Structure formats: C-alpha cells, structure tokens
Structure 1
Amino acid sequence: MSGLGEHSLTTLELALEWQSPQARHQERYLARRVNLWRDVFPPGFKEALLGKAVGDTVEKTYQPGEAIPDHDPKLIHRVPRSRFQRRTVGGRVIEPARGRFYPRGILGDMLGVYPQDSRPGRIIELDASNMVVDLNHPLAGFPLTLRATILDLADKATETGGRLTCWLEEIADSGPGMQRRHGRPTSFDLQNGLRRLDETEDTLFYAAPRIIGHVDAQAGAFLEQTYADSLSSLPSGAKVLDLMSSVLSHIPEHLDLHVTGLGLNLEEMEANPRLADRVVHDLNAAPKLPFPDKSFDAVTCSLSIEYLTSPQAVIAECARVLRPGGMLLVGISSRWFPTKAVRMWMDLHEFERIGLVLEYFQTLPALTDLRTVSIRNWWRPEDDPHIDQTLTSDPVCVVMGTVQD
C-alpha cells in the first residue's frame, strides 16, 4: 500500500500527553483495527493521518475545549452528604472522601445522573452536611497533545456497518486525569487504608520462594523500556537499588549498572541474574534502609509498593539514599497478592493508584520533576498462561521523580 487511506485498517500506538500542576503525564494506548472510513478522531487528526506510511508519526496539540469538552461550572453540584450511596465492596464499606473519584451513580440525585451511571465524578469539597461534586471530565481544562505512530497497515474488505470507535474517548475516558490532585492533597485513607487482610509477619508469607514473574511478558517489556528511558542517562557502573526485589528486576540488561537487590526472599534474588548484591530486609518491620546517605544513582520499586504499610517513610528513605540528581522509579500494575496488599489499594481506580503514589512523592520537597507514564491495551503474548482469561496485556504505570541537586 502507498499510504493510509479512507479504506485502510491500521494499528496505531497513541500517546496522550498533558501536564497537571504536580507532574507531566503520558498515556500510551494501543488502538487496534482502526478504520479511518468510520472511526472518529479529534479535529484535523484523521486528515493528518491520511497518506502516512508504517513508522510515520502524527502529532497535534489541542487547547481546552477543542478535543475534550472544556470545564463547565454548571457541572459542579452541591448535594447533601446523606445522598452518597454507600456500597460494600469486598467486605469494605465505601465512604466519601475529598478529592476521590466515584461512579456518578453513587454520588446522589443530580440532573442527568442515573443510578447505573459509572462515569467518574469527583468530590472536591466535603463537610459533615454537604459535598461538592465535580462532574467535568478529569482532563477538562488542560491542553492535550495527541500523537499516533502507525504500526501496520492493510486494505479492509468492503463493509457497510460495524463498530464505530471514538479513539480519544477510548484513551481518555478510562482514567487519565484521575491521578491529579484537585488543589489540596487528595484525602486518601492513610490511617485505616494501610491495613491488610493478612497482618502476619511478611517474612512468613514470603518464606517460600516464588520463581515467577508478576506480569505478562509484554507488560514486563514495557516496564523495562520505561526504566531504560530514564536509566540510560546514568554513567557506566552507576549504582541502582532494586527495592522489594525478586526474580525479575526489569532493569535493562544492556545498561552497565551495579544493581543491589533488597527483598524478603534470598532464593528469589539469587535466581535474578541482574543483581550484583543481595540484601534480605523487611521494609514493613523496619522502613529504614540499611545504606548510607547518597549511596545510589537510582532506586526502582517494581510491582510491590501496594504491600508497604509505611509507604511515606520508605519513600523518604529512598530520597535519603539517592545522590543529588538521582531518580526514583515506581512501577505498578493490576496484579498483586490480595491478602498482603493494603486495603486502600484495592478500593482505588487504577489511575487513582498512580495519584496515590504521586502523593507519596509529593510529601518530599526534595523529589522534583515528577512524571507518570501509563501503557495499556496491548495484546497479551499468545503463550501467556492467562491468555484464556484475557487477550489484553497487563497495564503498566510508572511514577518517576528526581532528587534535587
């Protein structure tokens, strides 16, 4: 084919970029079976794609209101707190909290809202009697940059009907924007929410080694790629701490780095060839890291932060052991041990979890240049043992920050 046309089917890697007052954000999303004849894009984007070939990239920036409805004060409502429809999920009663998102249907009786409405609404103010609810899109009011890279291209068979997809809605209506604060820090339940179903000593739970990965191979590759984008700037021989380490560090093999693993199971860490040093240490029993100040050029924590019962103390320790200019990278996904994850983690939308980690980072003024990356909707590898349950790869998100010089 000479280029993308009205009668083409294509696969696009979409990247939506935006900036909140707290951080820079990138949301990557695989758009499958894109049909230019039928599907919907923001103004001018389809026209920019026409004629492009595999490997080409198209990018457009949209001001507030051009691609997503602009912020509308009429979508902010004051309603009695008593109208919040408390529900029990997994034995936990869902309570209202300032700054949190909830399905609109449980936020009360408002014009245009019905009980089954699952679109997000945010409680932006809350007192003993009332709550102020914002029903605007989480990205309303922000400039957005949308980029598409063409991954493949084919002629489609003649067709007269079928699915119509609005691709900006696909990428933007499923969580992006929910990781930002609304002014003040979000009221995450850091007192009760850090309890777990299983409060026995973690050394007992992790005594038996688990020689397995905790996300599928595609998700693991994306986590490694995201780490590489930051760690590749480190000098040869730079020291990296792999926090809550296990069989896989997701730290790129091609980088010349001295990696120290800190985890709970020595056998798991011994099976990890990326580690040069191994330290057994229980962070929930003793959040203080057994290293001097300014010992490392980077700290990574992969797929484990949901198990920390004193996460702010551990993040503060990460900042302490990082040299000026050092980086902290926390990778998260959608799979964990449910009895050992803190209760609050399971109550949150996946993008609110990114916001929770950002809140941990923002308690430390030393951590600057905050960034987040989310990667979703890729194909799960065909040989993955969970392919029968879902064809979609595990989502991956990384929260990053840099210690001030």
Structure 2
Amino acid sequence: MEPLLAQLRATAEPTRLRLLALCARGAFCVTELCAILGQSQPRLSRHLKLLVEAGLLERLPEGANVYFQLPPGAELVRQVLARLPEDDTTVAADRRASARIAAERARAASEAFRRDGADWDEIRALGLPGAEIEAALLALLPERLGRAADIGTGTGRLLELMAPRAGAVLGLDASREMLALARARLGERNIGNASVRLADMYRVPLPDAAFDAVTLQMVLHYAEDPAAALAEAARLLRPGGMLVVIDLAPHGRTELLTRQAHRWPGFDDAALAGWLGAAGCAPLPAVEVAGPVPVRLWPARRLAATVVPATEPVLTF
C-alpha cells in the first residue's frame, strides 16, 4: 500500500502534475522543461527527483543532458492524466509550448541546418520549389504593404522578400538561434526596414490591428493548435489587411511527422477556411504550387469584427 500512497502523494501537486502531463507526450530534458513551465532549474529538479523516486518518471542520461519520460506501463499516471479537463488552460499552454520545443529541436538537429547555416530553411530542406512559392506569394500581396509581419520567420527569407514593397517588416520567432540567423541575413543584405523579435505565435506582445499584412510560411504544421495561431495572427491585422498562410497540402509523407516533427500531415481547404473564418477573416481562393510535397497558399482578408486582445504586455512597433 505504501508505494501506491507515495505515488498518489507525488502526483498531488500542480507543478508535478504538469511535468507528468508533459512527459507523457515524450522525453524532455531539464532545460526544455524549464522553458515550457517558466520555472527555475533548482525548483524543477526537486520535483523531478521526487517523481523519479516514486517511480512515476524515469531518468535517461544522454551526453551532457538528462531526459525524463514515463516508464513503461505507467498506468497510474495515465489514469490520473485522463481525468485532467481537456480545456484546462495551463495544460493546453504547456502542450503548445512542448510542441514548439519539439519542432525547434528537430530544426536544430537537421543536417541541412548544420551544413548550410543561414541559408537553411524548410523549403530547401524538403526540396520544394522556393522560387515558385515566393512568386505566388508576391502575386497575392499588394504592391505597397505598409507594415508587414512574418510569424515563425526562421532565417528571415520572407522579410527580405517583402521589405522592398513595405514601409517596415517584422519577423517573429520563438527560437533565439533562428533569430540570430535572421539578423545575420538582414545585416548582410543591408535591409534597414526589417527587424526581428522573440515571440510565441500564440501570444504576440503587439497591439491589435498593427499590420497591413501577416504571413505564416511552413509554420502551421508545427502548431499544436492551428486555430489559436491563426486567431492571433488575425488579431494583428487591420481591417482589410491580408493574411497569407503558406503550408503543405494533404500528403502521405508520414516520415515528416517523425523526422521533421510535423504535427499535421498537411491541411485541406475546408480546415483552413473554417479556422480563418473563426478568426474573423474572409478566405480567398487558394493557390497550389506543385512539388515533391504539394504546397498551398491560403490568402484571407481581415474583417472588421473584433477579436480578443492579447493578454501579454504590449510593446510598440
């Protein structure tokens, strides 16, 4: 009876319950868990030690890192987690952050990323027709953009592309490493009207209606909650502004879900239209670009209806 009571006591604490919910989705190291939960390493280390001692997590040393995951079986943990409300906001936020961490881990581990440095992007890594995709995007965007934002900007290629027709362009990304590469690209090309900023695509610390155009290229298939990501992108647009989503159409490349950490195997027009409509945008006809994996561009216009404002501190742009 005592081991069972010890396990139940170990789960009966908010941070430890969040850790178990995260590790049920895969293995994470301490620094990743700190980033997701926003807590200090000493504090999380104490919680992790208790969970390991109770047999609820197993500790996996890997080089300089130590990863934590559920042990085989772990029926008690799964029964406890099954009772967590699906709409719990804390658990949902942790889930989205963990998906982003997994995606960034995959990008950092990519051989193409290590080999090509600032020239790496997923368009090239997947062998997609980059020039055709860029031409299709420019054909959709107005000749004069005013202010434009690129969410999940990566190495900043779209900033470079949009800068000549915009008053100012801003790249947002959750990866400091990718932002460093984007800054290097913009500096090398002397693009003075472009800047980048660290931001979560679900909580962008910028005011409503700040931009005339917003793009998301090869970002949505990493999103745990695509509808929430599109709603936040729409919030940033002025009425009449253009939102363009560039992503993979439905495909059968299941290896992308593992090797590249894709969360979704492409999107169809109906799903995008539903999410865009719910975000307060009017979808326009999609454009498809053929390639090894089909790519589609989904443009939409922001309607005048208001959306829920951001809860994060607002910065000026």
For normalisation by structure 1, the TM-score amounts to 0.40
**Whole-angstrom CA distance in 2 between matches of 1:306 and 1:298:** 20
Identity of aligned residues (%): 24
Aligned twin of 2:101? 201
Answer 1 or 2: higher relative contact order, Cα 8 Å, separation at least 6: 1
Aligned twin of 2:151? 243
Report matched runs for 1:24-35 at 5 Å.
none
Q: Which amino acid aligns with 2:221?
A: E
Match of 2:245 among 330, 337, 344: 330
Tell me if structure 1 keeps the 8 A contact 2:100–2:223: no
1:373 pairs with 2:273: no
- 1:271 counterpart SS class: helix
**Whole-angstrom CA distance in 2 between matches of 1:363 and 1:200:** 23
1:308 pairs with 2:223: yes
* CA root-mean-square deviation: 3.4
Tell me if structure 2 keeps the 8 A contact 1:373–1:398: yes
**Gapped runs of 5+ residues in structure 2?**
1-85, 88-94, 305-317
Q: Which amino acid aligns with 2:131?
A: A
Match of 1:282 among 175, 200, 225: 200
Q: Given the superposition, is the C-alpha separation of residues 295 and 206 from structure 1 closer, same or farther in structure 2, using an over 3 Å criterion?
A: farther
Match of 2:235 among 320, 340, 344: 320
What count of residue pairs does the alignment treat as equivalent?
Answer: 186
Report matched runs for 1:349-360 at 5 Å.
350=266, 352-360=267-275
Match of 1:220 among 130, 140, 144: 130
Q: Which amino acid aligns with 2:140?
A: S
Match of 2:180 among 264, 267, 283: 267
CA offsets per residue over residues 25-76 of structure 1, 9 Å max, x none?
xxxxxxxxxxxxxxxxxxxxxxxxxxxxxxxxxxxxxxxxxxxxxxxxxxxx
The structure where helix makes up a greater share of residues is 2
**Whole-angstrom CA distance in 2 between matches of 1:309 and 1:200:** 8
Tell me if structure 2 keeps the 8 A contact 1:244–1:301: yes
**Gapped runs of 5+ residues in structure 1?**
1-189, 378-392
Q: Given the superposition, is the C-alpha separation of residues 228 and 309 from structure 1 closer, same or farther in structure 2, using an over 3 Å criterion?
A: same
The structure where strand makes up a greater share of residues is 1
Q: Given the superposition, is the C-alpha separation of residues 200 and 322 from structure 1 closer, same or farther in structure 2, using an over 3 Å criterion?
A: closer
Aligned twin of 1:398? 297
CA offsets per residue over residues 178-225 of structure 1, 9 Å max, x none?
xxxxxxxxxxxx99xxx79x7583596279493302124762112211
CA offsets per residue over residues 5-37 of structure 1, 9 Å max, x none?
xxxxxxxxxxxxxxxxxxxxxxxxxxxxxxxxx
- 2:203 counterpart SS class: coil
TM-fit CA distance, 1:302: 0.3
**Whole-angstrom CA distance in 2 between matches of 1:208 and 1:218:** 20
Q: Which amino acid aligns with 1:373?
A: V
Tell me if structure 2 keeps the 8 A contact 1:219–1:394: no
Tell me if structure 2 keeps the 8 A contact 1:222–1:396: no
Deviates more, 1:265-274 or 1:241-250: 265-274
For normalisation by structure 2, the TM-score amounts to 0.50
- 1:242 counterpart SS class: strand
**Whole-angstrom CA distance in 1 between matches of 2:257 and 2:154:** 14
- 1:332 counterpart SS class: strand
Aligned twin of 1:341? 262
**Whole-angstrom CA distance in 1 between matches of 2:247 and 2:277:** 18
Aligned twin of 1:258? 168
Q: Given the superposition, is the C-alpha separation of residues 253 and 301 from structure 1 closer, same or farther in structure 2, using an over 3 Å criterion?
A: same
TM-fit CA distance, 1:400: 0.9
CA offsets per residue over residues 155-187 of structure 1, 9 Å max, x none?
xxxxxxxxxxxxxxxxxxxxxxxxxxxxxxxxx
CA offsets per residue over residues 318-365 of structure 1, 9 Å max, x none?
1211011101000013785636322xx23xxx5x5343222211223x
1:230 pairs with 2:129: no
Tell me if structure 1 keeps the 8 A contact 2:283–2:298: no
Tell me if structure 2 keeps the 8 A contact 1:213–1:248: no
